[in-house]
Structure 1
């Protein structure tokens, strides 16, 4: 059996680097001139109110534009870019396209820009799992998948297979984070269903403790290309310091499709893999007794137990969990908190012995509203929760949370990225 071909290329100038990656991987061999081609970048979210460092979080516009230019030069004229970003609270896809300069691609090459959240989703049987997939994704003859080289605090890595979770509607995304299903056993079915002809992993930046902007980015200058999506992900995981066999959704996808997660089953071309491995942590460290991030213990915070997030916390809540952690840490003034537990997700249950139990989100509220261990419930029942409601509720029990502390933190993490270290915002504009 022939080995899947995977190219690892150093990123220098965008057009030349992308073209080289496609040539080495024979990446366009599966496309026909009349194909309806959908490009699926990773544009998971943006923030139009607070500073947003996009490095390692979203696909660079430079790589995306170079890909479109190559496709146009090779005679492919029916190109759509599609994504279903996080709705906060309404969809922001078209605003992101404008922010990232994609309108230039529309005007120059006739590329169609589709926000999946604004179009029809089709209920689709994915072999025992029913999800609603974007009509544009199902209508495409071929999909070019352009994820980012990043870690993910719930799935270790977020690469090609994980990127396609953006092709389902909000309810289906929440279902993937269900109480009775394993997250890593849901979204691989999407990847197995869709006609992905090429995966081009954008590793200009890598992200530790991803997938959002509160992770830590590094300039890596790498591209990975393969016509075999699993093979690309196996190599991408290796570059981040992870064996694919230790990443559950990769092994699950391999079982679904008959593929292999053994890197020795691949034909690697381009840059030597071993010289380009950059181990990046995927998770935040919690205390052994699960009372909060390790940083809480180092600061001497007591009287508070924030239970660690799990895979049942969906994206809406997870994007707000970091602000909560920052606000609580900043509220600590040296005195113990008033014996509070905070739980989240769809499976965490209130523990006995706490005077206050914060139910962060609609799911923990539904699960725990009749829990006899709760003395006084503080229910932040939104889906996702409302941070202003959380802030007010904490103040009422003597915890001086202030959203402005999180605003200050966001300014800090944005400004820690220096142009001298290669963090160039121009890479996110066309």
Structure 2
């Protein structure tokens, strides 16, 4: 039995690099003339109000644009780009396409740009799990999956299999983060259903402590291409410093569908794998007592316990949890907090002995609204929660949270990326196709 083939290519000029990755992996062999091809990038989110460093967070326009050009040159004309980005408070897919220059692809090659959140979803049996998949995805003959090479604080890595979670609706995404299911045992079912013909992992940048912009990006200049979805992720995980067997959603997919997690069972062409491994951390460290990030303890913060997020926290709350952590840290002025506990997600229960209990989101509120351990609840019940409501509620109990502190932090993380270190925003624009 032949080994699955994976190409690892150094990224230089986008068009030549992508073409070489496709040639080494025989990446277009599964496509036929007339196929309805859907390209699924990773466009998890954007921020049109605050500085947003996209490095390692979203697929580069340079790679996406080069892929479309090659497909057009090879005679494939029915091309759709589709994504279902985070909805806070509304969907932003078309705005992201414009920001990233995708309209150029529509004008030159007739590419259709679809925001799944604006389209119909179809409830679909995925082999023991029912989720609502975008109809446009189900209509595709072949899917080209273009994830980013990044870590994920809930799943260790976010590569090809994880990227397909963007094909389901908001309710299904929340279901994947359920209290009675393991997150890593949900979204792999999506990959089983879809006709993924090619995975092209964009590793121009890699991201530690992802998946959002608060992680730390590195310029890696790598592309990974394979017609085998699992093999692509096994190699991608290895490049990030993780054995696939240690990544539960990859192990789960392999158990259900066959395929090896052993890197030695894959034929890797192009760059030597061992010379291109860049170990990147996926998780944020918390105190042993689970009272907050280690940074809180280093600052001497007392009277506050922020319980660590878990896999039941949905993406909407996850994107807002970091501002909460930043604002709470900035609110510490040397005096202890007024004995406050902050809980989140779908399984965390309020602990006894706290004067105030912050229920961050509708899920912890529903779970704890009758909890006898709570003396005074501060319920931020939105889905996702409202940050301004959180700020006002904390000020009422003497904790001077200020959203301006988070704005300052966002400017800081944006400006830490320097052009001389290879952080080029031009890679996220399509100006000339």
TM range (shorter): over 0.9
The equivalences for 1:5-20 within 5 A come to 5-20=5-20
Counterpart CA distance in 2 for 1:302 and 1:282 is 27
Counterpart CA distance in 2 for 1:56 and 1:323 is 20
- After TM superposition, give the deviation of residue 360 of structure 1 in Å: 0.2
State whether structure 2 residue 252 is matched by structure 1 residue 249. no
- Point out where structure 1 has 5 or more consecutive residues left out of the alignment: none
State whether structure 2 residue 253 is matched by structure 1 residue 273. no
**Match of residue 287 from structure 2:** 287
- After TM superposition, give the deviation of residue 319 of structure 1 in Å: 0.1
State whether structure 2 residue 216 is matched by structure 1 residue 216. yes
Cα deviation per residue 1:136-179 (whole Å; 9 max; x = unaligned)?
11000000000000000000000000000000000000000001
**Match of residue 147 from structure 1:** 147
Counterpart CA distance in 2 for 1:136 and 1:204 is 28
Counterpart CA distance in 1 for 2:6 and 2:411 is 38
- Point out where structure 2 has 5 or more consecutive residues left out of the alignment: none
After superposition, the CA RMSD in angstroms is 0.3
**Match of residue 45 from structure 2:** 45
State whether structure 2 residue 358 is matched by structure 1 residue 358. yes
- After TM superposition, give the deviation of residue 259 of structure 1 in Å: 1.4
The SS at the match of 1:359 is: strand
Counterpart CA distance in 2 for 1:404 and 1:256 is 48
TM-score, scaled relative to structure 2: 0.99
- After TM superposition, give the deviation of residue 255 of structure 1 in Å: 1.1
The equivalences for 1:17-416 within 5 A come to 17-416=17-416
- After TM superposition, give the deviation of residue 374 of structure 1 in Å: 0.4
Counterpart CA distance in 2 for 1:265 and 1:138 is 31
TM-score, scaled relative to structure 1: 1.00
- After TM superposition, give the deviation of residue 256 of structure 1 in Å: 1.5
Cα deviation per residue 1:171-223 (whole Å; 9 max; x = unaligned)?
00000000100000000000111000000000000000000000000000000
Structure 1 residue runs of 4+, over 2 Å off? Answer: none
The SS at the match of 2:219 is: strand
CA contact (8 A) 1:192 1:256 kept: no
Counterpart CA distance in 2 for 1:262 and 1:81 is 32
Cα deviation per residue 1:249-278 (whole Å; 9 max; x = unaligned)?
000011121111111110010000000000
**Match of residue 427 from structure 1:** 427
Counterpart CA distance in 1 for 2:266 and 2:246 is 17
The SS at the match of 1:391 is: helix
- After TM superposition, give the deviation of residue 290 of structure 1 in Å: 0.2
Counterpart CA distance in 1 for 2:332 and 2:243 is 39
The SS at the match of 2:38 is: strand
The SS at the match of 2:133 is: strand
- After TM superposition, give the deviation of residue 88 of structure 1 in Å: 1.2
The SS at the match of 1:117 is: helix
